[in-house]
Structure formats: C-alpha cells, structure tokens
C-alpha cells in the first residue's frame, strides 16, 4: 500500500514541477483515504514555509477539523527538513513514509536525526526509500533543467 | 532596543492569552520598523503549525513580497521549537532574540541545539533572556489558570 500512496505524493510533486517549483509532494492518509494534499509552493506563494508537508498537514487538519493527526500517515517524496519534521511531531502524526533522501537538508538521518533522540512525548514511525528512484529522478531532472537554463542565460549574455 | 521590540512581542502574546491561546508572541523587525507580527493561534485556527513565529515570518514575507528575510530580526517571547527554528533558517533571517526558555520543546539549547551544528549554509545570531521574567510570568499565569480551571471542573463533577 505504501507504494500506492507514494504514487499520490509523486502526482503532487509533478504538478509542483510544472509550476516551476522544486518538485516535492505529500499526502496525508487515514483509514484508506487521502485526507490532505500538499505540493511545494515556495516560489508561487513567496513563503519559505510553503513546503509540501506543511500544506498537507494543514489540509488534513482542516478536513478533520482538528490539529491532532494521530492515526494518520504522511507520504512525502523526499526526506523532511527540520521545520517539517518538527511540524509532524506537533501534529502528533503516527507515521512518516518518504522516498528520496535530501543530503543537504534532511532531518531524518541526512544532516540530522533528531527523531532518534525521542525528545518529545510522542513517537513517530519512520520509513524511508519508498519509490525513492522516481522521487529522486524528479528532483534531478528539475535541478538539471535549472542548470541548463542558467547556462543558456550565460551563453545569451556572452553572445 | 531589544527590550523595546520584545515589548511588541509581549503585546502580541497578551492578545493570544486573552483569546485562550498559549501566550506566545513574535514580531519581525527590519530597519527600525515592525514588518511582521504573529501570535499563537493553534486553538482558534485548529492548526498545529499556527505558532507565533510562523505567522510572523509569513506576515513579514508578505510585507516584503519576498520569502528571504535577511537583514531582519525576530523577537519571540519564548524559545522556538524545531519547526519554528527550522522555518527561521529557511527564511534566512539574520537574528533571533527570545525571552524565556521552553524546557520541554525549545530547540535553541533546551531539548536540542541544532543551531550549534551549523548544518545550513546560513548563520543565525541568537540572543536569549531578553525580558525573560515577563515572558515566563505570562506563560506561568496561563498554565496556572488552566490548572485551576481543570480543578474547578473536577470539583464540579465530584460535587
């Protein structure tokens, strides 16, 4: 089932990519249903806080009419950062499943592992690597295109 | 000047308290002016993410029309949690000034100190203890009243 729900998160990530955003998507699932969706919207909204996970948590809380997300699982295409993992603890979500690692910002094992310290009065079950190749490919394509765009702009200025 | 701007954050915290929220307030200052305000709104908005700092960061980004808050200082009545400190790194804020420590959730020295690890390609200057007594007194009064309310409810049920 994890693969199926990650497919929904990937769908969100692809929509973000088409809008020129870093392609990250997330869905919150409870009782076999998607109750929250989010995709990265930092550029469009001009908010540093508009990460896919934050928007999915907030969407799910609105669906439930409650900020407590116990019994819910979030599927995220990439490893969450400190802000997002912190928000997931605050929301008391039960489980986090992510695809690709984020080597420069991931707080679930890459640059930090604060979940391992059990700092909070709440435990989150964390699974990584679900459809990781597809999640990573999306990111690589996006950043590869950005570099090509930059090169084209430099060439145009030089020309 | 820190004391003066913390007074503005305390003002926000007092408004939150009147609304029945945990009394935390924050303001973002740039060039001698408040450009963003926030106060805790978790209960009212039913969002676990509606911390004072998050709302102040977002308010400041809207004022500037840009998610980058370099050159800005945020004044917060209490020590930020992981989510909020993570958001402050993402927003590239220059300085964080807070009042009271949060022994159970503070990420700037209390339960964690991830700012010390210099994990990100950005440095934040952090000052703690500005008007700490007033900030702490607000929190203590609020939680003291909550306990009295709980006791009154228990007594009413028993009576």
Question: Three-class SS string for chain A?
Answer: CHHHHHHHHHHHHHHHHHCCCCCCEEEEEECCEEEEEEECCHHHHCCCCCCHHHHHHHHHHHHHCCCCCCCCEEEEEECCCHHHHHHHHHCCCCEEEEEECCCCCCCECCCCEHHHHCCCCCCCEEEECCCHHHHHHHHHHHHHHHHHHHHHHHHHHHC
Write down the pTM of the prediction.
0.91
Predicted local confidence at residue A159, as pLDDT: 58
Among candidates B42, B65, B82 on the partner chain, residue whose Cβ is nearest the Cβ of A86: B82
> Is there a contact between A82 and B114 if contact means CB atoms under 8 Å apart?
yes
Predicted local confidence at residue B148, as pLDDT: 74
Among candidates A81, A85, A87 on the partner chain, residue whose Cβ is nearest the Cβ of B48: A87
For the question of residue B53 being annotated catalytic, the response is yes
ipTM confidence score: 0.89
The alpha-carbon gap from A159 to the nearest alpha carbon of chain B, in Å, equals 31
Query: For the segment A4-32, what is each residue's pLDDT rounded down to a tens digit?
Result: 999 999 999 999 999 999 999 999 999 99
Side by side, which strands form the sheet with B95-100?
B33-39, B25-30, B73-78, B95-100, B125-128
Q: How confident is the model at residue B112 (pLDDT cuts 50, 70, 90)?
A: confident
Per DSSP bridges, beta strands B95-100 and B125-128 are parallel
pLDDT of residue A90 exceeding 80:
yes
> Is there a contact between B49 and A105 if contact means CB atoms under 8 Å apart?
no
Query: For the segment B37-75, what is each residue's pLDDT rounded down to a tens digit?
Result: 999 999 999 999 999 999 999 999 999 999 999 999 999
The alpha-carbon gap from B133 to the nearest alpha carbon of chain A, in Å, equals 25
> Is there a contact between B48 and A57 if contact means CB atoms under 8 Å apart?
yes
Contact between residue A35 and residue A103 where contact means Cβ atoms under 8 Å apart: no
Query: For the segment B32-41, what is each residue's pLDDT rounded down to a tens digit?
Result: 999 999 999 9
Query: For the segment A23-82, what is each residue's pLDDT rounded down to a tens digit?
Result: 999 999 999 999 999 999 999 999 999 999 999 999 999 999 999 999 999 999 999 999
Cβ-based contacts of A42 with chain B (< 8 Å): 67
The tally of CA atoms less than 13 A away on the side-chain side of residue A128 is: 12
> Is there a contact between A61 and B47 if contact means CB atoms under 8 Å apart?
yes
Mean pLDDT along residues B134-156: 85
pLDDT of residue A107 exceeding 80:
yes
Predicted local confidence at residue B140, as pLDDT: 94
Predicted local confidence at residue B159, as pLDDT: 59
DSSP assignment letter at B77: E
Cβ-based contacts of B57 with chain A (< 8 Å): 47-49
For B59, the closest chain A residue by CA position comes to A47
The alpha-carbon gap from A91 to the nearest alpha carbon of chain B, in Å, equals 5
Which of A63-72, A138-147, B127-136 has the lowest average pLDDT? A138-147
Report residue A73 as tokens: 């699982």
The tally of CA atoms less than 13 A away on the side-chain side of residue A107 is: 24
> Is there a contact between A85 and B82 if contact means CB atoms under 8 Å apart?
yes
- Give the residue from B67, B10, B60 showing the smallest Cα distance to B39: B10
């Amino acid at each position: 089932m994890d693969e199926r729900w990650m497919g929904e998160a990937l769908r969100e990530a692809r929509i973000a990519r088409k809008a020129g955003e870093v392609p990250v998507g997330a869905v919150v699932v409870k009782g076999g249903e998607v109750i929250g969706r989010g995709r990265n919207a930092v550029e469009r909204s001009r908010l540093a806080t508009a990460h896919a996970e934050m928007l999915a948590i907030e969407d799910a809380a609105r669906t439930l009419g409650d900020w407590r997300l116990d019994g819910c699982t979030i599927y995220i295409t990439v490893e969450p950062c400190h802000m997002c993992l912190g928000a997931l603890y605050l929301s008391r979500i039960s489980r986090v499943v992510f695809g690709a690692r984020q080597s420069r910002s991931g707080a679930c094992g890459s640059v930090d592992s604060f979940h391992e310290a059990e700092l909070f009065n709440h435990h989150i079950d964390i699974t990584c690597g679900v459809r990781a190749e597809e999640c990573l490919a999306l990111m690589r394509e996006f950043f590869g295109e950005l570099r090509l765009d930059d090169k084209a702009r430099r060439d145009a200025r030089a020309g």
